[in-house]
Amino acid sequence: MSKPPTILVFDSGLGGLTVLREIVKARPDAHYVYVADDAFFPYGHHGEEEIIARVVPLIGELIGKHHPDLVVIACNTASTLVMSHLRKHYQVPFVGTVPAIKPACAKSRTKRVSVLGTRGTVQREYTRALIRDFAQGCEVTLVGAAELASLAEAALHGVEVGDREIAAELAPCFVGDRDNPLARTDTVVLACTHYPLVMERLVALAPWQVDWIDPAPAIARRVADLLGPPGIEADAAGAEMIFTSGKPHTLSRALVPFFGGRVPA
Ligand code: DGL
């Protein structure tokens, strides 16, 4: 039987854990290396050239060190820029995370969809092209949240994050007549992998009920398709967690659920 694959999941910080969690469910046998580029966090505050210059060689180093069978770029801010560069430079299969505009617009009944991402992601030509190609007659509102990724990360670290701060980042997503469910936003795309970390807060602070589109399950299906069916053998070593800052991770217990119950080394 073939040996369990190594899957490298990469993000600027801890947001990619929301993608990892779905992949682990689809491939519990695999060996996982989760890399948080916290030395460069948040990506949303960096320019496009800077992100390409940072991520492309870094992924090359990580491939050289960990020999993954597949790499997931679990970050919209990076994926909307670097996927073609990565595929040009390296042979390993890549799966990216980009705003789920097509399924959101297909689902919206009121034809009002908001895309909540980092300022970088909503400004990208890649994102604008997705809207041109897949809006399907919907009015799409792009909402660049300056601090929501950092707030979500802080909340996962156990820092008290106020409702007001989260609600302020969220508010521009809600467009139209608040008293008429047929004439207001009914679908919000979570276009940053950090946001599902605070999903309950988002739901509680939304001025009205909407469908939230988290692409993580679809990404996990894509990973499973690319890798093919699992063998009988499961990886005994479990998972590794790496911070590019070199800091030891003090969050192990909070991270265990994302790794399917394993304690990342
Ligand atoms: N988690 C990242 C994303 O999906 C970005 C957060 C950041 O570094 O600004 O966009």
pLDDT, one tens digit per residue, over 85-132 is: 999 999 999 999 999 999 999 999 999 999 999 999 999 999 999 999
143 and 225 together in one domain: no
111 and 205 together in one domain: yes
65 and 121 together in one domain: no
205 in a domain, yes or no? yes
| Distance of CA 113 from the midpoint of ligand 1 (Å) | 20
| Distance of CA 30 from the midpoint of ligand 1 (Å) | 25
Ligand 1 pocket, residue 108 CB under 6 Å: no
150 and 243 together in one domain: no
The structural domain count of the chain equals 2
264 in a domain, yes or no? no
| Distance of CA 73 from the midpoint of ligand 1 (Å) | 11
Give residue 113's domain range. Answer: 101-214
- pLDDT tens digits for 8-65? 999 999 999 999 999 999 999 999 999 999 999 999 999 999 999 999 999 999 999 9
106 and 192 together in one domain: yes
Candidate list 105, 138, 173, 192, residue with the active-site label: 192
Ligand 1, pocket-test mutation among 9, 10, 12, most atoms within 8 A of CB:
12
115 and 178 together in one domain: yes
The CATH number for 13's domain is 3.40.50.1860
41 in a domain, yes or no? yes
Ligand 1 pocket, residue 77 CB under 6 Å: yes
116 and 209 together in one domain: yes
Model confidence band, residue 1 (pLDDT cutoffs 50, 70, 90): very low
105 and 93 together in one domain: no
**Which range scores top for mean pLDDT: 12-16, 244-248, 256-260?**
12-16
1 in a domain, yes or no? no
Ligand 1 pocket, residue 149 CB under 6 Å: yes
Residue 173 designated active-site? no
128 and 65 together in one domain: no
Q: Three-class SS string for the chain? A: CCCCCEEEEEECCCCCHHHHHHHHHHCCCCEEEEEECHHHCCHHHCCHHHHHHHHHHHHHHHHHHHCCCEEEECCHHHHHHHHHHHHHHCCCCEEECCCCHHHHHHHCCCCEEEEEEEHHHHHCHHHHHHHHHHCCCCEEEEEEECCHHHHHHHHHCCCCCCHHHHHHHHHHHCCECCCCCCCECCEEEECCCCHHHHHHHHHHHCCCCCEEECCHHHHHHHHHHHHCCCCCCCCCCCEEEEECCCCCCCCHHHHHHHHCCCCCC
